[in-house]
Chain A
Amino acid sequence: AQSVTQLGSHVSVSEGALVLLRCNYSSSVPPYLFWYVQYPNQGLQLLLKYTTGATLVKGINGFEAEFKKSETSFHLTKPSAHMSDAAEYFCAVSGGGLDEKLTFGTGTRLTIIP
């Protein structure tokens, strides 16, 4: 079974500051990890995913995440926040193989302070 824990249901950062959204996972098999973003009244958009290979993953809109097996973490970062980054962010895990489904965290609402 897989699960993810997102630390901090609300995060506020100033425009231009570093964005750090935390995600820790638990998985009995090698995990496949994802970050999604959801804007109001919209579906989910994939920011980035880690399956195998390079542990530093670059995504869209300047976001990146690093898979750290020793810390069971997959934190999302962006060097400089923009007003358009205000949204809800979800970390998710899949077991891969026949386990073709995502288990989501509870989400982190990111607010950008002008």
Chain B
Amino acid sequence: KAGVTQTPRYLIKTRGQQVTLSCSPISGHRSVSWYQQTPGQGLQFLFEYFSETQRNKGNFPGRFSGRQFSNSRSEMNVSTLELGDSALYLCASSLDSLTNYGYTFGSGTRLTVV
């Protein structure tokens, strides 16, 4: 069974640009969550989508946005990139409930902003 697929794996962008990251969850999983991992702040929750609706949101500025499509695939977008947005962005999918089923994480997209 295929795992969570994130594309691209690596990305280099310039300050001020925008970027879109993609996540394909495990087949049948309806919940997709996004996390940012940095050496300074650790792992921080960005947002969670369930059946195309944002169900939870973390404390990130409005430059960070996401969406989920009818096939459960999700994208996150970061506009007006800042140097501090350099991070590993992890996507996680769950069948339904984190509590009941846990997450399966993808390998991440490493974003470098120069």
Residues of A at the B interface (CB closer than 8 Å) are: 32, 34, 36, 41-46, 49, 51, 90, 92, 94, 96-107
A46 to B102, CA, bound (A): 8
Q: Which among A34, A41, A43, A49 is the interface contact of B90 at CB below 8 angstroms?
A: A43
Residues from chain B with Cβ under 8 Å of A104 in the complex: 42-44
- Give the Cβ gap from B106 to chain A, nearest Cβ, in Å: 5
A49 to B35, CA, bound (A): 19
A107 to B43, CA, bound (A): 9
How many chain-B residues does the 8 Å CB contact rule pick out?
Answer: 26
Closest A residue, CB atoms, query B100: A51
A103 to B58, CA, bound (A): 10
A90-B43, A100-B48, A100-B56 known; A43 and B98 CB under 8 Å? no
Query: Which residues B37-84 have CB closer than 8 A to chain A?
Result: 42-45, 48, 50, 55-56, 58
A43-B90, A107-B42 known; A101 and B98 CB under 8 Å? yes
Residues from chain B with Cβ under 8 Å of A32 in the complex: 98-99
The list of the 7 closest CB pairs from A to B, nearest first, reads: A43-B105, A104-B43, A44-B105, A101-B45, A96-B99, A43-B107, A100-B98
Any A CB within 8 A of the CB of B108: yes
Residues from chain B with Cβ under 8 Å of A100 in the complex: 31, 33, 48, 50, 55-56, 97-99
Closest B residue, CB atoms, query A42: B107
Evaluate contact between B33 and A101: CB separation under 8 angstroms: yes
A-contact bits for B82-114, CB 8 A (1 contact / 0 none):
000000001010000111101111111000000
